Structure 1
Amino acid sequence: MTFAPDVTTDKYRTKFIAWVFSGFSIASVVGAPAGTWVADTFGWRVTFALVSVLTAVLMASMAVSLPRNSHPAKIGFLRQFRLFLDRRIQLGVADVVFGAAASYVFYTYLSPIMRDEIGVPERYISIGLVIYSCACLWSNLYGGKLADKGHGVEPLTHIRPIYCVQAVCLCLLAFASLVPVGGALLLVVLGMLMYLQNSASQVLYMDVAYQSHPGSVNLAASLNSMSFNIGIAIGSAVGGVVNDLLGLTWLGPTGAICALLAVGTTTLLRPYVER
């Protein structure tokens, strides 16, 4: 992400960001089945060896192809953390945390939801996961188009209606067992909504850093992953508590609360949109 301005033009920046974020979804669709086949055919040690080799090849390719003089602005290690004092960054981080938590409250238990709530037979669970991963891939790629609508804070404020739709869908997930086909379609829709904020939030972090904190660009480039992982941890922990106390049925409505918190943070960002 740090090298986005150096390896692509401003016109294609959001598409570049979207494809980078799509790597996780592509890995879920292609990498997981391929890794399983390699492990079953040649043994699990070969899988780890293959990952190590591919990682080494990737690192070498990056060392050769990426620019070496990117972002000459440098400041002290501690001074770059002034980035976190920027209100726009604070709200952007909170938005991603709540958005990720909303999805991972139920995503952590996706297989049990498919099996126990919707009634998908055990032998078709893997197919259901692949379909869900394809929906997530679409979510990442379309998120790049949404991030094209403006600069700085503005693209993320356009995600507010999407969070509202996500909250409604998560509430409806509580009734998935009553209409299994509808529940299955609902999961696909939730997959399509899952990563729509990724590119928009990355645009916020990078544009704010370039504009107001040029010495913190590298730190800003890492904020999306950091924020999303915090949201994953919170969502998974909350989902575990809810599942233990109330059961799978209440995971969706609990995620909806997180989605509504994301709606609140995007609302607070609106005054910072440049007119």
Structure 2
Amino acid sequence: MTEEPLPTNASSGVVRVGDTVRRPAGPWTDSVDALLAHLHAVGFHAAPRPLGRDEQGRQVLQFLSGEAGSPDPRWSTTDLGAVGRLLREFHDAAADFTPPPDAVWQTAIPADREDLVVHHDPAPWNLVRRPAGWALIDWDAAGPGSRLWDLAYAAQTAVPLRADRPLAPTLPRLRAVVDGYGLDDAGRAALVPMLHRRVTAMVELLRSGAANGRRPWARIWTEDGPYWQRTADHLAAHTDDWAAALG
């Protein structure tokens, strides 16, 4: 069958074949497949189903058709609330996942904590809007982390919280994501500093990748490093605004 290359920013060799996606397998792939199989077993179907390996040894996944998100989403607060709910449903489904004893993960940025296995990149470019609701794709970076680690990145990228956006309209949008997730008061207080911490971790990953010539981080630093640094500065400068928006 015809192979159709799929656009990715940090991966290569990802193609669509019919109603499947084929990805180059790595040491982490069996662990990712185990996570995805668990999610489907417990009723979370907003992630691709793992379908084994093909004749080239590539990971085979169910293709989830729908409208893919963009790096600069213009979603409504209703959409953002749905994204928050999707992330909460995933985290709840993953809470009782027991990784294989020999689990290997490809996590680029160590999380603040390791409470459960999380996605690590639940950003608009990995979200697909379907008639049945939102779905989350590209699980190669999944690994141990925390709910707030995932939620901070999802909120920052989906709202989006960035320096070139007027501040006032972003505040109810931030609240929509967090309300959709159903975060409690203690979690909201902890999320405020986590917004800056998570983006700062991205800046450090890209900067060190550029210094060491590591792909794809060196390339992304060249293309998007200034954006991420401005975003980190923006998040730090408006901590009180984020706290007020989250009530």
TM-score (norm 1): 0.26
Task: Specify which structure has the higher proportion of helix.
Answer: 1
Tell which has more relative contact order, 1 or 2 (C-alpha 8 A, sep 6+): 1
The structure with the largest alpha-carbon Rg is 1
**Greater percentage in strand:** 2
TM-score (norm 2): 0.28
